Amino acid sequence: GHANIGVVGLAVMGSNLARNLASREGNTVAVLNRSRSKTDELVGAHPEAGFVPAFSYEDFAGSLQRPRTAIIMVKAGGATDAVIEELIRVFEPGDIIVDGGNALFTDTIRREKAVRETGINFVGMGVSGGEEGALNGPSLMPGGSDESWTTLGPILRSIAAVAEGEPCVTHVGHDGAGHFVKMVHNGIEYADMQLIAEAYDLIRRGTGKSPAEIADVFAEWNRGELESYLIEITAEVLRQVDAETGRPLVDVIVDQAGAKGTGAWTVQTALSLGVPVSGIAEATFARSLSSHPEQREVSRALPGPSAESAAQALQVDDVDAFIEKIRLALYASKIVAYSQGFDEIRAGAAEYGWHIDLGRIAAIWRGGCIIRAQFLNRITEAYAATPELPVLLTAPYFVDALTRAQAAWRDVVAISARAGIPAPAFSSSLAYYDGLRAERLPAALIQGQRDFFGAHTYKRIDKAGTFHTLWSGDRTEIEAEDTH
């Protein structure tokens, strides 16, 4: 065989990735799809790519140089397992199977373990950037063994997006590390999108500006510290006019947000790791709330602030100042969301034994992926200065930003509460920030309650040991066995 890389699964993502690979000097790409039609279509449409089509797994293996390297781009789940089973049948020890689908990282850990037994390398790789990214340069988050990275590294570097001269790919860590990081990327994306949506809603309801006028606000924001792909496309979506009705498209779209589950995975995983990713959770739940029209229908008559007090809360004498406050609230909440997301990666790495360079992760998200932004450079710098930084938002740059933003942030949360405009991600981010800052938390009371009903014991601030109060007896305190 003479192809140096193969792609299995030629739907939109696989086709685009195969074309991207073929367009790079030195690559010859073998392609295979379960149903023949997609292969014929791709190969027919792109003679310039010099694809080597295969119509069986045997052909496919035969067309590849050793070590054989194949990227799977099929529907995540059972399809991935089915393809892996076939590849194991025709591949040999030392070959490399890469899963570029959106797999749950625990599936990747399981698959890596099973495939490794055969002597074949298995790499779970997060791919970000959608169809466009796959074709022109995605952000790539491969896990797997060091051995496979030696072969894969140069190929992946050649197709990844480039940010400030650097390819957006790094060997994230072993087994499921790549898919874990891709999952958290998607969780952060949910939070980013929700924060932008809350900012839009407050501006619209607070100032009465039209979507097109708000598009100008976002375009302006995109020239400052909020510069990012998501802010940029927000302006474009808001400017879009519906051809059929002549209304802003955003007013014609049904207000129920869909989700494919990666936000929920991020939150579920954070819950089991004990990491408070409240911004991502609120963003995920906000989509859920929007998607229950029957609940929203019966709730419409619930009391809110009177029109008068809502108007008073929103009373905006200086529109520009109001918009600037919202911009600052958005920036502060965004810092919280990223800080929480990186906290989840840190905790996941500790739990699963991965060595993840957090600064490198921020760096490879600067290009190709949906959350690409200038801002990520600040995260790379923060971890470069302090690799073991326990809370990202305590890095000096972010402290400065939060110091500038916090008064406005509080105002915006207060205004939204008084006006009856939901801002769950803004307000939960602020609560997280104040929770971290607090000298004392009411967690002490919770420990007292737990000790009362379940003898769960507590620690004291003034001496070592574990204690229990005899709540149903004479209420004296005894030293207890540490139950934790």
Is 73 among the residues that bind ligand NBP (CB under 6 A)? yes
- Closer of 57 and 375 to ligand NBP (Cβ): 57
Is 14 among the residues that bind ligand NBP (CB under 6 A)? yes
Is 10 among the residues that bind ligand NBP (CB under 6 A)? yes
Is 362 among the residues that bind ligand NBP (CB under 6 A)? no
The two structure tokens encoding residue 398: 């972010």
Is 11 among the residues that bind ligand NBP (CB under 6 A)? yes
Residues 51, 48: Cα–Cα separation, whole Å: 8
* CA distances to 270, 332, 351, 379, 435 from 347, in Å: 9, 23, 6, 17, 19
Residues 362, 364: Cα–Cα separation, whole Å: 6
- Closer of 125 and 430 to ligand NBP (Cβ): 125
- Closer of 41 and 477 to ligand NBP (Cβ): 41
Instruction: In angstroms, give the least distance from the CB of 285 to ligand NBP.
Output: 22
Instruction: Kindly tell me the burial class for residue 73, based on how many C-beta atoms sit within 10 Å of its own C-beta (0-12, 13-18, 19 or more).
Output: buried
Q: Which stretch binds ligand NBP (CB under 6 A): 73-81, 207-215, 270-278, 471-479?
A: 73-81
Three-state DSSP state, 35: coil
**Chain position carrying tokens 């958005």:** 330
- Total of residues contacting ligand NBP (CB under 6 A): 22
Is 34 among the residues that bind ligand NBP (CB under 6 A)? yes
Site for ligand NBP (CB under 6 A): which residue of 53, 101, 143, 368? 101
Site for ligand NBP (CB under 6 A): which residue of 22, 31, 70, 76? 76
Compute the Cα dihedral for 459, 460, 463, 469 and give only its sign: negative
How far from each other are the two terminal CA atoms of the chain, in whole angstroms?
58
Residues 159, 134: Cα–Cα separation, whole Å: 9
Instruction: In angstroms, give the least distance from the CB of 72 to ligand NBP.
Output: 8
Is 12 among the residues that bind ligand NBP (CB under 6 A)? yes
Is 102 among the residues that bind ligand NBP (CB under 6 A)? yes
Site for ligand NBP (CB under 6 A): which residue of 1, 62, 94, 130? 130
Site for ligand NBP (CB under 6 A): which residue of 3, 42, 74, 152? 74
Is 111 among the residues that bind ligand NBP (CB under 6 A)? no
Catalytic residues: 182, 189
Rg (CA), the chain: 26
- Closer of 99 and 282 to ligand NBP (Cβ): 99
Residues 33, 21: Cα–Cα separation, whole Å: 17
- Closer of 99 and 451 to ligand NBP (Cβ): 99
Is 83 among the residues that bind ligand NBP (CB under 6 A)? yes
CB atoms within 10 A of CB 138: 30
Which residues are within 8 A (CB) of 255 and not within 5 positions of it... i.e. 6 or more apart? Answer: 290
Considering only CA atoms, which of 139, 105, 100 is closest in space to residue 11?
100
Is 38 among the residues that bind ligand NBP (CB under 6 A)? yes
CB 119 within 8 A of CB 94: yes
Q: Which residues bind ligand NBP (CB under 6 A)?
A: 9-14, 33-35, 38, 73-76, 79, 82-83, 101-102, 127, 130-131
